[in-house]
Amino acid sequence: MQEAWLQLQCPACEENWEENVADLSGPEASFDCDSCGETRSLSEFMQTTRDLEVLRQFKA
The yes-or-no verdict on residue 3 having pLDDT over 90 is: no
The whole-angstrom separation of Cα 20 and Cα 14 is 19
Residue with the larger pLDDT of the pair 2 and 10: 10
Distance CA 38, CA 50 (A): 23
Q: Is the pTM of this model over 0.85?
A: yes
Lowest mean pLDDT among 34-38, 45-49, 56-60: 56-60
Q: Are 19 and 12 in contact (CB under 8 A)?
A: no
**β-bridge pairing 30-32 and 39-41:** antiparallel
How far apart, in whole angstroms, are the C-alpha atoms of residue 50 and residue 35? 24
Q: How confident is the model at residue 1 (pLDDT cuts 50, 70, 90)?
A: low
Closest CA to 29 of 8, 14, 43, 15: 43
